[in-house]
Structure 1
Amino acid sequence: MNPYLIAAVVPVLLSLIFQKTKGKKKRGLPVDVGGEPGYALRNHRFASPVESFWEGVTTIAELFEQSCKRFPDKALLGTRKLFSKETEKSQDGRSFEKLHLGKYEWLSYGQAFNAVGNFASGLVKLGHQKGERVAIFADTRAEWQIALQACFRQNITVVTIYASLGEEALCHSLNETEVTTVICGQKEIRKLSEISRRLDTVKRIVWINEEGISNDVSLVQNASPWIVNSFAEVEKLGKENLLEADMPLSTDIAVIMYTSGSTGLPKGVMMSHGNVLATVSAVMTIVPGLGSKDVYLAYLPLAHILELAAESVLIAAGGSIGYGSPLTLTDTSNKIKKGTKGDASVLAPTLMTAVPAILDRVRDGVRKNVNSKGGIAKKLFDIAYDRRFSAIEGSWFGAWGLEKLLWDFLVFRKVKAILGGHIRFLLSGGAPLSGDTQRFINICLGAPIGQGYGLTETCAGGTFSEYDDTSVGRVGPPLPCSFVKLIDWQEGGYLITDSPTPRGEIVIGGPNVTAGYFRNEEKTKEVYKVDERGMRWFYTGDIGRFHPDGCLEIIDRKKDIVKLQHGEYVSLGKVEAALIVSPYVDNIMLHADPFHNYCVALITPSHALESWAQKKGIAFSDFSDLCQKEETVKEVHASLLKAAKEARLEKFETPSKIILLPETWTPESGLVTAALKLKREVIRKTFATELEKLYA
C-alpha cells in the first residue's frame, strides 16, 4: 500500500464525512465572592464549591472503606515480582544495577482492607499512643498506601516526608512534629541511623521489606535505641489483636505534608480529611468515565499531594493501582534489564500522572527514533503528525474519524506502546509543561493531556484542564471545589483591569484550602486569609491571567522562587547568598527555568582571578580575555561547587553551567539598586543571549 496515495486520497474522501470544529464554551464563570476586590471565577459545572462527591462520606478513611465494600474482589494494589538484581558495566567501566522483574501480583480491595485493619491494630499494640504522629519516609509502593489508610482508621495524623529529603530537613520535619513512629524503606534506615542522636521523639521504626537489602536493618536493630519491627511483623501483631476502628472527623488533620523546601527548612502543611476529600471529589467530576475498569500506574512520590490525591481518586472510582518507579517505567528505562519489560508495558495502564520531564523524555525519544530511521518512515510520520495537528487545531480538512484510526494503526501504534498502549487520559502536574510537548504527546498517544494547577497548601486543587479542551499552555478553569480570583499586584504591574484579559496574583478559596503551616503562625497569617463569609483563601504568589473562556494561564511569580521541571523549588536568593562566598565571585545571579531541571548562573568575577592565572602561568591580554578562557570558567565553577557543598545545597540548586561577565554590576549601569540588590528582570533582559547559550 503506497503511503503517499493514502496521504493524498484519504483526507479528501473522509474529511468531508468526519468534519469537526473547535467549540468554544465558557469553562469558568464570574462569581461575587466578596472580600478583597478581585476578578473571581468558579467552574461552570457548579455554583458553589464541591465538598464531597458521595453522600455520607466526609473523610478519606470513610471513602476507602466505602470502595473496599463496593469492590471487595476487584484488584487494588499491584506490585511487580523481583526475580533478580544484576550489575552491568558500560564501556567506560561504570557499573549499573539492572532489574529482572516479572508480572504484577495483586491485592484485592478486600485483602487490602484486611491488611489496613491489621496494620492499624498492630501500630496501637506496638505502643503507638493516641495523639502521637506517624511519619512515612519511603518510596512509593503498596505498603505506603496501606500504612496511610491504617493510620487514618485509628485517626493518626501522618507526616509525609520525601525519601530524597536532606539530613537537616529530615531532622527538622521529624522533631517539629514530634513523630514517635517512623515507617520507612530499608534504604532510608541508614539515613535515620546516621541522625539518630538528633531525633528527639522517635521511639519505633517499622521497616518495609525490600528484596536484596538487609544490612541497613541489622545496623539499626543492633545499634539504635529504637524498637524495630518489620512491616509484616506489625501486620501479624494486629491480626492477632484486632481493634475497633477509631474513625476521624472531616476537620481532623489527616496529613502534615512537608514540602521539599522553597526557602530554608521545609514547612509542614496541615491537611484535614475534608481538604483532601474536596479535591478528590472535584476531580471525579472532571475526568469522564472513571471507574473500576481503569488501571493507574503509580510511580511519583506519594509524599507529594499530586500523587496522594491521584491514588485517592482511583480508589474512590474502584480502579486498580500498579506501582512502578521512574527508573523502571519503560522498556528502555535505566534499571530495566535487557529483555525485561518496563512497568507500563506490563501493566498497560489507562490513566497516568506524569511530570513534564517524563513527557519530554518520551517526546525526545520518539523524535530521535523517527529521525534515525529517515526515508519513507520519517515522511509518513511527518504526514500523519501534520494531519492530526490540523484536526486538533480545528481544521475541517484534518485527520478525523477513520483517517485518524488509520494513522494510529500505521504510525502512532508503536508510540502508544511505550506507555502500554491503552492510555486514555494523562495528567501533567508538578511543573509547567511546554506547549510543544503537550501537543506532541497528545497527537502521538491519541489521548488528552490535562494540565492541573494547585499547591500543597490547596491539596493540589486549584484549576484543571477539562477533557475536551485541546488548547496548550493553560491550566484550565477552576476545579469544582475552588473559587479562583486574581488580585492586583501593583508593584509588578499586573492588574485585574488589564486589557484584553485580567491579570494579577492568583488566590484560591474553597474547602480544599488547608489549615496552614504546622507551628508557624506567622507564615500562616501571611498567606492564608478568611473573608467575611467564612471562606478560607490562599495567596499563592503566582501571577496569572484569565482567558475569555475562564481558563487560567500562569505567567509569572511574585517571589524569586522557581519550580524546576522535576518540581523542586529553588530559592534564588538563598543560593546566591551561599555561593557569593567564593573568593572568585564579585556578584552572582542564579537563573532557573521551569522548563529545565537545572540552574545556571551569571557571574561578575573578582579580580582575584588575575592572581590565580598568574600563579598558573596562564597568559591573558586583559580581564575580559581571562574571563573567556575555559580553564578560568572551570576554576570558578569548582569554587561554586565547593561553596555549595559547604552550604549543604542540593544538587539541583547548584548551577550546572556558568558564564563570566567581566563588567561589574553597579547602580549606574542599572543592573542593581542603590542598595546593590539585583534587578533580576533587567539583568535577564540585558544578558538574554548569554542565558540562551547556557541552556543550549
Structure 2
Amino acid sequence: MKLKEDMSPLLLQVFRSVVWVYSVITFLPWYLLSGASGNQARAKRVKARAINGNPAGPYRAVNSQLKLASLLHEGVDTLDKVFEYAVVHFPERDCLGTRELLSEEDEIQPNGKVFKKVILGDYNWLSYQDTFHLAQRFGSGLAALGQKPLCNIAIFCETRAEWVIAAQACFMYNFPLVTLYSTLGGSAIAHGLNETEVTHIVTSKDLLQSRLKAILLEVPRLKHIIVVDTKPTSWPDLPRGIMVHNMAAVQELGSKPENIMVSRRQPVPSDIAVIMYTSGSTGIPKGVMISHSNIIAGITGMAERIPNLDENDTYIGYLPLAHVLELSAELVCVSHGCRIGYSSPQTLADQSSKIKKGSKGDTSVLKPTLMAAVPEIMDRIYKNVMTKVEEMSSVQKTLFVLAYNYKMEQISKGYTTPLCDRLVFRKVRSLLGGNTRVLLSGGAPLSAATQRFMNICFCCPVGQGYGLTETCGAGTISEMSDYSTGRVGAPLVCSEIMLKDWEEGGYFSTDKPNPRGEILIGGPNVTMGYYKNEQKNREDFFEDKNGQRWFCTGDIGEFHPDGCLKIIDRKKDLVKLQAGEYVSLGKVEAVLKNCPLIDNICAYANSDESYVIGFVVPNQKQLTALAGQKGIRGSWEEICNHAEMEKEVLRIITDAAISGKLERFEIPKKICLSAEPWTPETGLVTDAFKLKRKELKTHYQDDIERMYGGK
C-alpha cells in the first residue's frame, strides 16, 4: 500500500532531494554500525524445512529438526512449577498491576445515550512473591470449601489480576480450570457448567448480576460462587443452597493453620490444567482439554520467537484470558519474570470509550514493551489514524505520506529509519505508550495493509501467529526480523506441520510453485481433545505411528521456499456457486476489509445462486460524510437503510474488489448495510472477533431473501 501525496510538484521535489541527500550521507556509517546486513540475512534465511524432503512435510523449524521442544526450563514440567520458578528467580519484581479507580461518572451524549466515563490513577503492583502467597491461600481456601483435586472448577470473569491469582491457585492444587468467555450467552454458559459438573465457580460482581444469576436454576450442581471483588451485603433471589463468598474471605479461610496446603495433590504433566470452552464460530462451544504439558510446550514455542524476553519487559493484558492467545501470552511473561499490567478494550488508550476526555488511558500510563492484539483491534487503530491523516493540512499530509512511503521502502530492504521514527511517527507510536518493541497478532488473519501500517507507524515488528485452542494457540509465529506481509511464519520449535491434499478445493502438496493443502499441526502442544465428545475427537485428532498427536485444522495453507506458511483458504469458507465456480468467502472479506468505508464485512453465497452478496458494517464517520455529499439526511439507521447509500457503497466496494484483483464471480453483487456494529455481546462474532456465519445468516435471513430476489 503506497499512500498518495498531495502537494505542489516543486515542493515535493525539494523534499525528495533532501531525503536523497540525507540517505546518501548517512547510509554507509549507519549500515556498518546498525547490523543491517545481519538483519537482512536473518530475514532471508531458510527458517523451516520438510524433515523427509516430502513437499507435504512435515515441516519443522531449522533449530528443531531432530527433536521438538517441550520444556521451557529444565524440570519445570507443570504450571505450578512454572510459577514457583518465577517466584524463586524474581521474588520482589512486579508481577500483576491494576490501575486505581479515582472517579466514575455518567456522560450524556448528544443522541441522549449515557456513556460511563472513568478517571484512573497509577498502577498498583503485586510482586511475584505476593501473588504466589495470595494464590496459595486461595487454593487452600477452595479446598476448605470442598473443592477436590482432579474435580473441575469454573472461572467466568473479566481479564484482571484476580483471574490469574485464581488460575495459579487451581494449577497449584490440581483443580482442572474450566474457562468460559464472559460474553457467552446464557445457554452456552449453562452447557459448559453442566457438562463439566462444576460445584464451584469464580466470577465477578458484575457478571454474577448481569449473566450468571439468570441461569443458576439451570445449573443444579453449583454450590459455591466466589466473587473476586467486594461482595454486597446480601444477594437476594439466589436459589436456595448456593453460597456466595468473596475472594478475600476465601483467602483468609485458606490462611488458617488447619487449612494451609490441606488436600494438596501436586499435578503431573499429563493432568488436565484447563478445559477451555471455545467461543465457537459454529454451534455450541466445545471444551478443549489442555494438559499441563500441552501448555508448557506451547509457551516454550512462543517464547523462542520473542527476542530478548526478560524481566525488564512489561506486557499489557486486556484480551479475554479465557482465550488461548491471552492465557498463553501471560504465561510466557510469567515464566520470564515480566510484569503484567491489566487493561480493557474500553480503557486501553487515551481515546478509548470509557476514558474521560483529558485523562490518560492505560497504555499511556503503563508504557508496555509487549502487546498481543487481534486483527480487529489493529484494523480499528489503522483506520482511525488514516482518517486523521486525511484531515491534515496539505503540508502535514504530504510530510506524513513521504515519510510513510520512504520507511516502507526501507524496511522492505531490512533497514531502519531512526530519524523518521523520531520526527514523524513518535506521536502515532505514543498511542500505545511509546515503548512497544513487539506486537503479537493472532486469532484471525491480519491484512497486509494493517500489518505494514503497524510496522511503520508503531516502529516495531508485528509477529503474526497462527494457532488454535486445540494446539494451545501454538503453531507458527513469524520472526521479528521478517518484515514480509501476509504470512504467519515458520513452525514453532514445539510444532511440526503437514499439508494434506484437498481434492475438492483443488489444493495439492504437489502444486507449483508452492505445495498447498489442509494444515495439520503435530507436536506436544496438540491437546488431549474435546471434553465428552469422542465423535468430534475422532474427526479432528489422530495419533501417528510414533504416538504423536495431530490436529486437522480445516485451514488451507501453502509453504514458501524459506519454510514460512501462508494461510490461503478455509474449508468451511468455500462455497460452490450455481455455475460451478468456487468462492472463498474469507478471501473476499480479507480484500474488502481494507476499504476505509468498511468496519466489518461478511460475504455470503448460496449454492443455488450465481452471485455473492454481503452484509457490511460501514464506518460511521466515512458513511455519514458520503451521505452528506449525496444530500442524504437522517439518523444513522436511516442512512444505512437508504437505497441510494446501499448503491453507492456497493460501487465503492466493487472498485476496491477490482483493485484487490478479485475475480468477477467473487465480487458481491448486492449488499446490506448494518447500522449495528458486530461485537461479541451481539453474538454475531466470537471473542476473537471471528465471524459467526451461522448466527449472521439467521440474523440477516430477511435481507438474504431480499438480495436473492425473494428465493
TM range (shorter): 0.7 to 0.9
Q: Does 1:410 align with 2:406?
A: no
- Note the 1:363-382 alignment, pairs <5 A: 363-382=382-401
Structure 1 residues 143-176: Cα deviation after superposition (integer angstroms, max 9, x where no partner): 0000000011111100000000011111110000
Q: Does 1:239 align with 2:255?
A: yes
Q: Tell me the CA shift for residue 222 of structure 1.
A: 5.5
- Note the 1:105-116 alignment, pairs <5 A: 105-116=124-135
**Aligned mates of 1:515, 1:254 — CA distance in 2:** 11
**Aligned mates of 1:131, 1:377 — CA distance in 2:** 62
The one of 160, 165, 169 equivalent to 1:141 is: 160
Name the structure 1 match of 2:58.
Answer: 40
Name the structure 1 match of 2:548.
Answer: 535
Letter in 2 for 1:197: L
Q: Secondary structure, in 3 states, of the residue corresponding to 1:329?
A: coil
Q: Does 1:654 align with 2:654?
A: no
Change (3 A) 1:45 1:172: same
Q: Tell me the CA shift for residue 208 of structure 1.
A: 1.5
Q: Does 1:10 align with 2:19?
A: no
CA contact (8 A) 1:193 1:224 kept: no
Q: Tell me the CA shift for residue 371 of structure 1.
A: 2.1
**Aligned mates of 1:629, 1:100 — CA distance in 2:** 39
Name the structure 2 match of 1:332.
Answer: 351
CA contact (8 A) 2:179 2:274 kept: yes
- Note the 1:33-432 alignment, pairs <5 A: 38-47=56-65, 48-190=67-209, 191-209=211-229, 218-219=234-235, 223-240=239-256, 241-243=259-261, 245-394=264-413, 400=415, 404-432=417-445
**Aligned mates of 2:545, 2:708 — CA distance in 1:** 55
Q: Tell me the CA shift for residue 18 of structure 1.
A: 3.4
Q: Tell me the CA shift for residue 338 of structure 1.
A: 1.3
Structure 1 residues 596-650: Cα deviation after superposition (integer angstroms, max 9, x where no partner): 6453556899xxxxxxxxxxxxxxxxxxxxxx9949x99x999x99xx9xxx964
Letter in 1 for 2:22: V
Q: Tell me the CA shift for residue 17 of structure 1.
A: 3.7
Q: Secondary structure, in 3 states, of the residue corresponding to 2:418?
A: helix
Letter in 2 for 1:42: R
Out of 222-231 and 595-604, give the one that drifted further: 595-604
- Note the 1:437-448 alignment, pairs <5 A: 437-448=450-461
Letter in 2 for 1:489: W
Structure 1 residues 257-283: Cα deviation after superposition (integer angstroms, max 9, x where no partner): 000123221110000000000011112
Q: Tell me the CA shift for residue 366 of structure 1.
A: 1.7
Q: Secondary structure, in 3 states, of the residue corresponding to 1:418?
A: helix
Structure 1 residues 401-450: Cα deviation after superposition (integer angstroms, max 9, x where no partner): 6xx22111110110110000000000000111000010011011111000
**Aligned mates of 1:58, 1:538 — CA distance in 2:** 22
CA contact (8 A) 1:50 1:282 kept: yes
**Aligned mates of 2:671, 2:443 — CA distance in 1:** 29
The one of 519, 522, 530 equivalent to 1:506 is: 519
Unaligned runs of 5+ in 1: 562-571, 574-588, 606-627, 666-696
Change (3 A) 1:517 1:662: closer
Q: Tell me the CA shift for residue 223 of structure 1.
A: 4.9
The one of 597, 602, 613 equivalent to 1:599 is: 602
CA contact (8 A) 1:346 1:420 kept: yes
Structure 1 residues 67-107: Cα deviation after superposition (integer angstroms, max 9, x where no partner): 01111100000000011111001111111000111110000
Letter in 2 for 1:136: I
Letter in 1 for 2:180: I
CA contact (8 A) 1:58 1:250 kept: yes
Structure 1 residues 117-161: Cα deviation after superposition (integer angstroms, max 9, x where no partner): 010101011121233211000110000000000011111100000
**Aligned mates of 2:303, 2:603 — CA distance in 1:** 40
Q: Tell me the CA shift for residue 221 of structure 1.
A: 7.5
**Aligned mates of 1:252, 1:365 — CA distance in 2:** 45
**Aligned mates of 1:379, 1:33 — CA distance in 2:** 50
Letter in 1 for 2:122: K
- Note the 1:485-504 alignment, pairs <5 A: 485-504=498-517
CA contact (8 A) 2:149 2:265 kept: no
**Aligned mates of 1:260, 1:288 — CA distance in 2:** 31
Q: Tell me the CA shift for residue 356 of structure 1.
A: 0.8
Q: Secondary structure, in 3 states, of the residue corresponding to 2:115?
A: strand
Q: TM-score, normalised by structure 2?
A: 0.79
Q: Secondary structure, in 3 states, of the residue corresponding to 1:55?
A: coil
CA contact (8 A) 2:494 2:525 kept: yes
**Aligned mates of 1:514, 1:341 — CA distance in 2:** 41
Instruction: State, as a whole percentage, how many aligned pairs show the same letter.
Output: 45
Letter in 2 for 1:219: W
Q: Secondary structure, in 3 states, of the residue corresponding to 2:476?
A: strand
**Aligned mates of 2:567, 2:439 — CA distance in 1:** 20
Q: Secondary structure, in 3 states, of the residue corresponding to 1:538?
A: strand
Letter in 2 for 1:521: E
Change (3 A) 1:193 1:255: same
Letter in 2 for 1:535: Q
Q: Does 1:468 align with 2:481?
A: yes
**Aligned mates of 2:330, 2:550 — CA distance in 1:** 26
Unaligned runs of 5+ in 2: 1-13, 577-583, 594-598, 610-640, 648-669, 686-691
Change (3 A) 1:224 1:593: farther
CA contact (8 A) 1:99 1:336 kept: yes
Out of 20-29 and 48-57, give the one that drifted further: 20-29
**Aligned mates of 2:251, 2:600 — CA distance in 1:** 40
**Aligned mates of 1:307, 1:246 — CA distance in 2:** 27
Q: Secondary structure, in 3 states, of the residue corresponding to 1:461?
A: coil
- Note the 1:508-523 alignment, pairs <5 A: 508-523=521-536
Matched residues, number: 599
Name the structure 2 match of 1:547.
Answer: 560
Q: Tell me the CA shift for residue 33 of structure 1.
A: 10
**Aligned mates of 1:317, 1:45 — CA distance in 2:** 21
Q: Secondary structure, in 3 states, of the residue corresponding to 1:50?
A: coil
Q: Tell me the CA shift for residue 209 of structure 1.
A: 0.9
CA contact (8 A) 1:517 1:523 kept: yes
Q: Does 1:25 align with 2:45?
A: yes
Letter in 2 for 1:79: T
Structure 1 residues 560-610: Cα deviation after superposition (integer angstroms, max 9, x where no partner): 49xxxxxxxxxx99xxxxxxxxxxxxxxx99883656453556899xxxxx
CA contact (8 A) 1:181 1:203 kept: yes
CA contact (8 A) 1:137 1:160 kept: yes
Q: Tell me the CA shift for residue 4 of structure 1.
A: 6.5
Q: Tell me the CA shift for residue 379 of structure 1.
A: 1.5
**Aligned mates of 1:55, 1:112 — CA distance in 2:** 23
CA contact (8 A) 1:39 1:502 kept: no
Name the structure 2 match of 1:478.
Answer: 491
Letter in 2 for 1:71: F
**Aligned mates of 2:226, 2:602 — CA distance in 1:** 37
Q: TM-score, normalised by structure 1?
A: 0.81
**Aligned mates of 1:5, 1:372 — CA distance in 2:** 26
